[in-house]
Amino acid sequence: MSPMGRGTAEEALVLLRRRLCDPNFIFSLFSDSPDSNYSKLKFIVSSSITEACNNSILLLGPRGCGKIAVLDLVLEDLLKEYPEMISVIKLNGLLHCDDNCALKEIARQLCIEHELMFSKMASFDDNSQFMIAMLRECGLAHKTVIFILDEFDLFAQGKQRLLYSLLDAMQSVTSQAVVIGVSCRLDADQLLEKRVRSRFSHRKLLFHPPPKDDLQRLLKHILLLPTDSSLSHDYITEFNLKISNILADKRFMEVIDKLSDSDSTFSNFIRFLFSAVSLMDLKSGLMTLDNFKSALSSIQRQPKLDCLKDCSVLEFYLMVCMRRLETKGQELYNFNSVMNEYKSVHDSYQLQTHDYHSRSVCLRGFEHLVDRQLIEFADRGHNQSMEFRAVKLLISSFELHQGLKSNRLLPVILEKLMESKN
Amino acid sequence: MNKVDSPQVTKRKTRLSSSCTPNAIESATTTINLPPLTLRDLVFGEEEPLTYDDLISSLPGRRNQIFELVRLLGPVDSPVSPIFVYGGASNGKTSTILQVFRHLNRPFVYSSCRTCYNARQLFENILNQLLLHRKSEINGYSSAKKCEKQADFVNLLKEALVGVVDSLKVNLGKSSGGSVNGSMVYLIFDSLELVRDWDKSSTILPFLFKLHDILKVPDVGLIFVSSSSLDTFYSDTGFVDPIPVYFPDYTEDALRQILMRNQPNPKLYSAFLDLVLKPFCRVTRKLDELSAGLSPLFKKFCEPLDDLEVNPVGENKRKLLNCLQPHIAPAINEILRVTTMSSQVNMKKKKSGASDSIDEIEFHMSTSAKYLVISAFLASRNPATLDASFFDSTGGPANQKKKRKSSEKSKELKEALEEEQFMKGPGTFPLERLLAIFQCITSGSEYPLEEEEEEEEEEDKSLMSDILLQVSSLCSANFISKGGSCPLEGSTRYRSTISEDLALKVAKSLKFPLTKYLYRK
């Protein structure tokens, strides 16, 4: 392995990071196949542009499957193909779920698009009339307005006035608009009111996590450096050779399998690649299998187990006492009953005195457990002081066992206490 | 020693006050003309950027996390996915991130969801920093932009970010702008876990986690800092997880290194830590609690010493350690106690000495207030149905009746009841019951009450109004907590919050036979 100049390696790293942070680059891989969502969506939208009709589609699928990225790619292409014939209005349910706010945003974006003055003071009715008028104008000019409603399910909360007025405006012959709803709820169309649903065409495109062979293609697409870049030719061949070796490695496939076992969406995959790439050694400028392995362990964390590793001896005692109460069949317990158990455990097992703390110190340990979200108050009694509020453990006995095992500093007696019944 | 706080303090100093000259500070009463903020103010302070080695040595025990963060942030001007930094309280998350930015010397915007206590404050704070706006007397301490809604925030933020990034790029081109590295801006959201308690948190949290996708500005990096892990941020339809960076609690070694910093006599302190750190760590490994707890103990440790410069070796050291040994266990109990409503008052009392025979309470309270406290305690502990038998005018509690009752009950039932008492805590009572019990125990002729007799002579009405005032002041002092209203009666219900120990002590100071009136199951 020849030592590369820091500059070259850094340049390659920046290039890889750019790619990973650019969804357009990642999903452009799938745009050529005819049965991809990209092609379907493009066909639907472009036909409604050319045929000058109204349309509505829902893009559904779990988070991180590239709904918005594919949509962006399609729009980008369509804007190139039909310049001056499309204007895009983008709304997001997280930002504009309030009808007033949404209509204002539509008016604002329409104004920017058509170089008009936008008035902040306009009322809901003004904006809604403005929108209908604009739709008519655009229809007469054979210009298609594309409404993108991200987080579509959030628009379906409340009275759905926005959806109704939008879809109702599209019933007229003169208008020419496409409404594209994007949601991670597969039942998003069931959320619509009857009057809205009847005006909605029930076209749906489903997005899925990528199958395995797509992942392989994607890996090559992302990780192999382009041969036509400004980097030195020798470096590129060396880098790509190394990557191909890793991709062919059986151990690498195991890592990928482990990753997709828990979450096989694009976003998880890209997160994984991002942290692997950022671990790349800048001296050699090459990626290693270890980079991917350590990226996997940093992405797939188990927060409760991590939390348990940090717990002090006292906190473990308290949790074990709660666990014992649970095995005894006591469903509800609070600090006082835990303290009783703690005391009886101390009495019957002759614990070392330096692990038997006063009540108020235990209360602090108890507070820490609440802070760490290992236990939670089971009631909403804000009025009652903490000692009396019922709590419940948020970890299973298996997790507690794991925690006990992973912590070497703990007294052995704790494991015994977990197992014994009395 | 306050390692945790120091970076924030310096940051605040550098951001706000250190940019004005000492003269300006002297004339602080008149208007201070701070120089306008520049892009230079977006990086960490005016000190020289840290080297990587200095960075590692300034934060003991955080080597892996620093490495991970620096790697994730990547080389200058490389885009970054959102990062989520989490780990328990006071284990150096904020200071590590700020110091990492000092090392990288890149522009960033830091805002804590603790000081920015609602969405509007948070949004305006970020915009102010990005727009290089300073709240001052001239602008009436107003923000640069008024912004409450998330939709407005996104538009304004996009505008501001593009502006800052553009001017950073221009600066870079001029080559004189070597003081700032790169043209990316990082937004740091600290104490994100608090957002869960804001109203509308169900929309703000997914919004913040999705902000990077919504903005679609490649030159911005988002860093979230939280003391609880991602799985505690529930939301209806979820969000794409940011890249997690976990900060585990400090190990004992790291704690020792941190505590040893800035000690005038390291050898002495190290001998002290040898003895003390282990037992304390069995209870807590939180730095803030430890540093607060250890300093009084160290004073005690130094007491037998004339010369603090002494180097403890051999015999000398052993002597010192022996002196301290008996103090450790009580110190843990004393220092690490939690001040809850019921123990708050106890703590004040404990100060007078370690002996258990303290009869007098160290806080001042009028006699009638003491009676009220006792009445409230009785009302909370005793079942309301037994009030008549305890306080009826024929005198004294019906002891026989009580005994018969307890003998009737089987042992199991008794245990179940005890359990119930443990679970339910003190009961609630209406004001009328409190006043009735108060009347009963103060007017009971069996117990001559010198102080009360004077009050008895006064007019009844004035006494009552005075008592009501006292009830409300006891409520605000947390001796009695005011609860929600009872759904049936519609009147406000109260609850006594004091512990039995305290009630007994108060009763003792009045020579009132509390145990006689207390219902025992």
Between chains, do B154 and A358 touch, taking CB under 8 Å as contact?
A: no
Buried b (16+ CB within 10 A) or exposed e, A170-188: beeeebbbbbbbbbbbeeb
Partner A, chain B 397-456, Cβ-Cβ below 8 Å: 419, 422-426
> Which residue among B72, B282, B286 places its CB closest to the CB of A313?
B282
Partner B, chain A 295-314, Cβ-Cβ below 8 Å: 298-299, 301, 303-304, 306-307, 309-310, 312-314
Buried b (16+ CB within 10 A) or exposed e, B143-157: bbbebebbbbbbbbb
Whether residue A385 is predicted with pLDDT greater than 70 in this model: the reply is: yes
* B429 phi/psi in degrees, rounded to 5: -150, 155
**A305-419 fold:** Arc Repressor Mutant, subunit A (1.10.10)
- How many residues are given for chain B? 521
Between CA A388 and CA A336 the distance in angstroms is 7
Between chains, do B240 and A63 touch, taking CB under 8 Å as contact?
A: yes
Between CA B172 and CA A213 the distance in angstroms is 44
> Which chain B residues have a beta carbon less than 8 Å from that of A363?
337-338, 340, 343
Tell me how far CA of residue A392 lies from CA of A109, A365, B56, B255, in angstroms. Answer: 50, 15, 40, 31
DSSP A203: E
> Which chain A residues have a beta carbon less than 8 Å from that of B495?
383-384
pLDDT at res. A255: 93
> Which chain B residues have a beta carbon less than 8 Å from that of A313?
282-283
B263 shares contact with chain A (CB less than 8 Å)? no
Task: Tell me what the pLDDT averaged over chain A comes to.
Answer: 87
> Which chain B residues have a beta carbon less than 8 Å from that of A334?
422-423, 425
A64 shares contact with chain B (CB less than 8 Å)? yes
Which of the residue ranges A73-82, A403-412, B216-225, B390-399 would you say has the lowest mean pLDDT?
Answer: B390-399
pLDDT at res. B398: 45
A416 shares contact with chain B (CB less than 8 Å)? no
Between chains, do B423 and A390 touch, taking CB under 8 Å as contact?
A: yes
Between chains, do A17 and B79 touch, taking CB under 8 Å as contact?
A: yes
Instruction: Tell which of A112, A361, A377, A394 to mutate to test the B interface (max B CBs under 10 Å).
Output: A361
CA angle B356, B357, B361 (to 5 degrees): 100
Q: How far is A366 from chain B (nearest CA, A)?
A: 10
B231 shares contact with chain A (CB less than 8 Å)? yes
Q: At a CB cut-off of 8 Å and minimum separation 6, what does B220 contact?
A: B161, B165, B184, B185, B186, B187, B212
Between chains, do B240 and A267 touch, taking CB under 8 Å as contact?
A: yes
> Which residue among A13, A20, A363 places its CB closest to the CB of B340?
A363
Between chains, do A364 and B80 touch, taking CB under 8 Å as contact?
A: no
Which of the residue ranges A255-264, A337-346, B43-52 would you say has the lowest mean pLDDT?
Answer: B43-52
pLDDT at res. A421: 63
> Which residue among A101, A151, A185 places its CB closest to the CB of B149?
A101
> Which residue among A95, A371, A384 places its CB closest to the CB of B425?
A384
> Which chain B residues have a beta carbon less than 8 Å from that of A301?
229, 244, 246
Whether residue A82 is predicted with pLDDT greater than 50 in this model: the reply is: yes
Between chains, do A388 and B423 touch, taking CB under 8 Å as contact?
A: yes
Nearest to B45 by CA among B90, B113, B110: B110
Whether residue A196 is predicted with pLDDT greater than 80 in this model: the reply is: yes
> Which residue among A313, A360, A367 places its CB closest to the CB of B333?
A360
Partner A, chain B 333-372, Cβ-Cβ below 8 Å: 333, 336-338, 340-343
Question: If you measure CA to CA, which chain B residue comes closest to A381?
Answer: B483
Between chains, do B213 and A68 touch, taking CB under 8 Å as contact?
A: yes
3-class SS at B398? coil
Between chains, do B244 and A299 touch, taking CB under 8 Å as contact?
A: yes
Between chains, do B237 and A184 touch, taking CB under 8 Å as contact?
A: yes
pLDDT at res. A250: 93
pLDDT at res. B456: 45
> Which chain A residues have a beta carbon less than 8 Å from that of B241?
267-268, 271
Question: If you measure CA to CA, which chain A residue comes closest to B483?
Answer: A383
Chains A & B: contacts with CB separation below 8 Å:
183
Instruction: Tell which of A127, A304, A306, A373 to mutate to test the B interface (max B CBs under 10 Å).
Output: A306
> Which chain B residues have a beta carbon less than 8 Å from that of A151?
237
Mean pLDDT of A372-385: 77
What are the tokens at A137? 């104008």
Q: How far is A98 from chain B (nearest CA, A)?
A: 10
A291 shares contact with chain B (CB less than 8 Å)? no
All structural domains of chain A with their residue ranges:
6-19+211-300, 32-206, 305-419
CB contact at 8 A, A315 and A327: no
Nearest to B73 by CA among A274, A64, A6: A274
Whether residue A149 is predicted with pLDDT greater than 70 in this model: the reply is: yes
pLDDT at res. B463: 58
pLDDT at res. A352: 64
> Which residue among A363, A372, A387 places its CB closest to the CB of B88?
A372
Which of the residue ranges A119-133, A150-164, B31-45, B241-255 would you say has the lowest mean pLDDT?
Answer: B31-45
pLDDT at res. B13: 39
Question: If you measure CA to CA, which chain B residue comes closest to A332?
Answer: B423
Q: How far is A313 from chain B (nearest CA, A)?
A: 5
Q: How far is A140 from chain B (nearest CA, A)?
A: 31
pTM, rounded to two decimals: 0.82
CATH of domain A32-206: 3.40.50.300
> Which residue among B154, B244, B337 places its CB closest to the CB of A360?
B337
**pLDDT in 10s for each residue of chain B, 521 residues:** 344 444 433 443 333 333 333 343 334 444 456 677 777 778 877 677 788 998 998 888 899 999 999 999 998 888 999 999 999 888 889 999 999 998 988 899 999 999 999 899 999 999 999 988 888 888 888 888 888 888 899 999 999 999 999 988 887 766 554 577 788 899 999 999 999 888 887 888 999 999 999 998 888 999 999 998 888 887 777 788 899 999 999 988 899 999 988 888 888 888 888 888 888 888 888 888 888 888 888 887 777 776 666 666 666 677 777 777 777 777 776 666 654 444 444 444 333 333 333 445 566 778 888 888 888 888 888 887 777 777 765 544 444 444 444 455 566 666 666 666 666 677 788 888 888 888 888 776 444 444 444 444 444 545 566 888 888 888 888 788 877 666 666 677 888 888 787 888 888 888 888 888 887 75
pLDDT at res. B481: 81
Instruction: Tell which of A108, A264, A316, A364 to mutate to test the B interface (max B CBs under 10 Å).
Output: A364
B326 shares contact with chain A (CB less than 8 Å)? no
pLDDT at res. B459: 45
Between CA A260 and CA A254 the distance in angstroms is 10
Q: Are strands B243-247 and B220-226 parallel, antiparallel or unpaired?
A: unpaired
CA angle A364, A368, A372 (to 5 degrees): 170
3-state secondary structure string, B240-288?
CCCEEEEECCCCHHHHHHHHHCCCCCHHHHHHHHHHHHHHHHCCCCCHH
Tell me how far CA of residue A209 lies from CA of A9, A62, A268, B254, B301, in angstroms. Answer: 32, 8, 10, 43, 63
Between chains, do A371 and B336 touch, taking CB under 8 Å as contact?
A: no
Between chains, do A14 and B78 touch, taking CB under 8 Å as contact?
A: yes
CB contact at 8 A, B499 and B376: no
Between CA A21 and CA B219 the distance in angstroms is 11
Between chains, do A332 and B203 touch, taking CB under 8 Å as contact?
A: no
Question: If you measure CA to CA, which chain B residue comes closest to A375?
Answer: B232
